[in-house]
Amino acid sequence: MHILPILSYLSLLGTCGVLLYAFLRAQRSIRDLAAELRHAREEQHQDRIQLSHRSQLDTLKDEFISTVSHELRTPLTSIRGALGLLSSGVIGDVDAKAQNLLRIAVTNTDRLIRLINDILDLERMESGRAPLQIRRCSLRDLAQQAIETMTSMADASSVRLELVPLTPVQAATEDSLFFDGDSDRILQVITNLLSNAIKFSPPSSTVRIITEATHDSIMLKVTDEGRGIPTEQLDSIFDRFQQVEPSDSRQKGGTGLGLAICRSIVQQHSGSIWAQRNLGPGTTLYVMFPRSVRSTDATASAMETPRGEGAILVCDDDEGIRTIVNHHLTRQGYSVLEAASGEQALQLAREHHVEAILLDLYMPGLSGWETLQRLRNDSATAHIPVVILSVLSSTLRSQLSGDAQGWVQKPFNESLLFAELGRVLHAGDGPAHVLLVEDDEDLASVVRASFADAAVYIEHAASRQQAIRKCITRRPDLLILDLTLPDGDGFSLVEWLRQQPTLKNLPLVVYSGREISEPDMAKLRLGPTEFLTKARVQPQAVEELVLSMVQRLRTNRLTDVSAASPSA
């Protein structure tokens, strides 16, 4: 009879229990959330403390550099000035013994001043506190200024300085030696290189500066006739405090920082610097700059130019151009056919075995545009690669709908001409050329050994600079890249490759010792790109992947050629 009130009471108790349970759960969640918030605030506080400490360290570092600049440079200037006055005899003559002591003091004071200046310069550049003042520069003018600056030092050592004259073709393209850069910094690089060359040159020898240019880069070479640099030290000489011989700093002077400063300046300009032994006596230092400067890490790729049994057909209505091109090609071992008109070029292409055609666009009668279309529409000539020779920029190349495989802008540089010709003649048959960029010599040996029985030629580069140099010398078919390098990292190398027209789509295998995040993968992609992790993937697996990529690339290339053929 009292069942309903009892049930209602029990239901109310159950509801209260549920609500109490929910409240307790919510309270616990609130406590957990509050604890997490306290923990997050503590972490944020620690982060702020770390940022503050880092900022304080940066401030202390700047203050230290400023103190060194003032507290060392200032008294050293006074000491050097006083010693100079004493040694010059302004306050009276001194005997031979005192004069010798003064000479020693002056020499070592100058050495200490150079050391401090070099350390501070290097620190300012590498910390980003010495921004570049970019403006239009003439490489020839800067080279001439450097020679004028260093002439007195050269005369004292009985060494002759020479700026090698331009060839007639180069003289016609002297405007191509202009580029965007910090003229003061570039002048510092050239004078440093000349100073080194003079120090290590024997009397009555010559130090030469050579300048060259392509459509997107310029190069300067400083060649001496000295004792040369051992092959194993060609890269390490750009490190801090490195001397070819331990006694050089005492006998020749210098701080061992000059080439390190040169490398820092060149890299600020997205360029490259390296050394090579000469075939004869001496060493050549190479400096290459891109025409357009980026804030990060920048040359046309001069690949090997394969020579077959056919001829190169040069079609240009200008006899002088034909003569110059014929001369360059003949010196490289090519056989050459000449055509003064589009009609003649079509006839010669049908009647002879032609490997490639160098074609001018603007000619009387049948223009180069029309000649190119007729070549493509004729099954007998459609397969012949064509390189355009034109006063027009290669940016107009897209208007040809891919009918031309290469483009060289007039006035041209012969190295660029050979690079384009070599690129279009590279059919992809024969051993694939793979560049392995790995600083660990033992691992590099293992990887190379794994390809011993494969139809692949493996070339090894142990540093970023070596890799750039080898890519310039010959375009690889594929790159195997380690991310940790002694003079930079794989990211900066990929950025450099991405800036090169002939290398920006290079197939790439990243073989790294660490896991690579998705954002980093995006930064590393060029052409077809694969990512492997060391220890997880053995060198044999690298071989299998590389061979499959090479086969796939060649299959795609053959498919593209077949699709482009009128008979397809």
Q: What single letter denotes the amino acid at residue 233? A: Q
CA dihedral (354, 359, 363, 366) positive or negative: positive
The confidence score (pLDDT) of residue 528 equals 84
The confidence score (pLDDT) of residue 380 equals 87
Chain centre distance of CA 244: 24
Work out the average pLDDT over 296-304.
Answer: 34
- pLDDT > 90 in the chain, percent: 13
User: Residue 431: which pLDDT band, with cuts at 50, 70 and 90?
Assistant: confident
| Cβ proximity of 314 and 339 under 8 Å | yes
Query: Between 109 and 141, where is the model more confident?
Result: 141
- Say yes or no to pLDDT of 210 above 90: yes
Domain 311-425 sits in CATH 3.40.50.2300? yes
The confidence score (pLDDT) of residue 133 equals 79
Query: Between 239 and 467, where is the model more confident?
Result: 467
**Do 311-425 and 432-563 come out as alike in CATH topology?**
yes
Looking at CATH, the fold of the domain delimited by 135-290 is given as Heat Shock Protein 90 (3.30.565)
Query: Between 320 and 417, where is the model more confident?
Result: 320
The confidence score (pLDDT) of residue 568 equals 40
Enclosing H/E stretch for 358: strand 354-360
Q: What single letter denotes the amino acid at residue 403? A: D
The confidence score (pLDDT) of residue 259 equals 87
* Three-class SS state of 433: strand
Enclosing H/E stretch for 277: strand 272-277
Alpha helices in 456-538 (DSSP H): 464-473, 490-499, 518-524
For domain 39-129, the CATH class is mainly alpha
Q: What single letter denotes the amino acid at residue 59? A: T
Domain ranges of the chain: 39-129, 135-290, 311-425, 432-563
| Cβ proximity of 191 and 260 under 8 Å | no
pLDDT in tens, 396-411: 555 544 567 777 766 6
Of the candidates 213, 179, 160, which has an alpha carbon nearest to the alpha carbon of residue 413?
213
- Say yes or no to pLDDT of 548 above 70: yes
Pick the CATH number of 432-563 from 2.60.40.1120, 3.40.50.2300, 3.40.50.970, 1.20.1440.230: 3.40.50.2300
User: Residue 104: which pLDDT band, with cuts at 50, 70 and 90?
Assistant: confident
Q: Both tokens of residue 249?
A: 């700093």
Work out the average pLDDT over 267-290.
Answer: 87
Q: What is the DSSP string of 540-567?
A: HHHHHHHHHHHHHHHHHHHHHHHHHSTT
Q: Structure pTM?
A: 0.46
* Three-class SS state of 91: coil
Mean pLDDT is highest, among 197-206, 258-267, 452-461, for: 197-206
Work out the average pLDDT over 361-370.
Answer: 85
Of the candidates 471, 460, 514, 521, which has an alpha carbon nearest to the alpha carbon of residue 493?
471
Q: How many CB atoms lie within 10 A of CB 226?
A: 20
Query: Between 299 and 6, where is the model more confident?
Result: 6
Q: What single letter denotes the amino acid at residue 231? A: T
Which distant-in-sequence residues (6+ apart) come within 8 Å of 324 by Cβ?
A: 169
pLDDT in tens, 43-54: 776 767 766 666
User: Residue 315: which pLDDT band, with cuts at 50, 70 and 90?
Assistant: very high
The confidence score (pLDDT) of residue 19 equals 52
pLDDT in tens, 154-176: 999 999 999 998 877 677 666 66
